[in-house]
Amino acid sequence: MLRLPRFELRQPTSLGEAVTLLREEGAGAMVMAGGTDLLPNMKHELFTPRVVVSLGRVPELRGITRDPDGTLVVGAMARIAEIASSESVRKQAPALAQAAGLVAGPQLRRAGTIGGNVLLDTRCQYYNQSYFWRSALGFCLKKDGVVCHVVAGGSRCVAAASADCAPALMTLGAVLEIVGANGHRTVAIDEFWLGDGIVNRRLAVGEILVAIRIPPTPPGHRGAYGKLRERGSIDFPLLGVACRLDVGDGDRVEHGDLVLTALAARPKRIPQAASRLVSTRLGTEEFRAAIDELGALAHRQCHTLANVPGDQEWRREMIPVYVRRTLQAAAAGNGPVHHV
């Protein structure tokens, strides 16, 4: 049995009220969206806030709408299940819809939110454990300790970015809308991450992610998400691969992107993806060669660590396999890619 530590629950009914509450409470407060990441972490005593501010009753954060210029505006409190089944998301951002559909299991997709998934705490098998378990090992860099159990002698936390939706949003060029006591700001999701496993995102105390803006995609846009995990449901990714192919006349690729996650503190883009894919024609030997080469490049550039469960060597060998299969799925207008 895992009990939550004591806290005071606040349930603001407007965004303004939530911002004011967070300003008053300062660092002693934490924001709760769906609670599916925060509450287990609190049960493990990874967080022990004095006040929890629930966004469940803030209407401004809900819903998926479209701006006149075609930008999809996804409220931060839109449920993961809503994203997975939304016709507009599936059409404009297939990689995101696929990634959302593979998050956790059906009950958690109903509770979890897109905002919560983007802001998911980094994960490590030496961190996501009960207080008792962690105390037996002498704690770690990320919480209460001074050593890293993943990298011997390591002084930098390597807990892994594990949000399925984040790499998909990166391929889509998403922009995050954030509100705090100092007003409103926007930040490109690529610029949002820090390479630090302890805190991997640039979000100040008291700030709330309110919406995610997904720019319009061209008619030939295709995308897919591949997820390696132990079981066909529930689990966090052992590896996540999001890709994008914008296809123009004559099945020629006009834009491409490839982002991997569950490796290090931030999702990792393969920078050569765009140049290697652009101007290749789908279904040709040239395209097959390009995706093979990208698989090999990703294998060279990405190193698996014992931060998440599973055999690291096997996870690394699966990188080219998942890169290839996910790009193939996108090219064919299929996906998601998963082995079970």
Partner 1 sequence: MHLKVNGDVHDVDAPDHWTLLEVLRYRLGLTGSKQGCDKGDCGACTVLVDGEPMISCLILAREAEGREIVTIEGLWPLHLARGGEGPDPVQDAFDRYGALQCGFCQSGMILSARALLDRTPSPTDEEIARALSGNLCRCTGYTQILQAVQSIVARARGVEPPRRSWEAANVGRQAGER
Separation CA 41–CA 316 (nearest Å) = 28
List contacts with partner 1 (CB under 8 A).
1-9, 11, 35-36, 39-40, 43-44, 52, 54, 56, 104-108, 110-111, 232-234
- In the complex, what is the shortest distance from the CB of residue 253 to partner 1, in angstroms, rounded to a whole number? 32
Number of Cβ within 10 Å of residue 52's Cβ equals 21
Q: Which is nearer to partner 1, 7 or 193 (CB)?
A: 7
Q: Which is nearer to partner 1, 107 or 186 (CB)?
A: 107
**Cα distances (Å, whole numbers) of residue 124 to 151, 239, 291:** 12, 13, 30
- In the complex, what is the shortest distance from the CB of residue 52 to partner 1, in angstroms, rounded to a whole number? 8
With tokens 């990689």, the residue in question is 95
Q: Which is nearer to partner 1, 111 or 151 (CB)?
A: 111
Q: Which is nearer to partner 1, 50 or 288 (CB)?
A: 50
Separation CA 100–CA 118 (nearest Å) = 11
- In the complex, what is the shortest distance from the CB of residue 30 to partner 1, in angstroms, rounded to a whole number? 13
Alpha helices in the chain (DSSP H): 15-25, 38-43, 80-85, 87-92, 94-101, 106-111, 114-118, 131-137, 165-171, 273-277, 285-301, 312-331
**Cα distances (Å, whole numbers) of residue 224 to 168, 259, 319, 334:** 8, 11, 15, 7
Q: Which is nearer to partner 1, 43 or 303 (CB)?
A: 43
- In the complex, what is the shortest distance from the CB of residue 180 to partner 1, in angstroms, rounded to a whole number? 24
3-state secondary structure of 66: strand
- In the complex, what is the shortest distance from the CB of residue 164 to partner 1, in angstroms, rounded to a whole number? 15
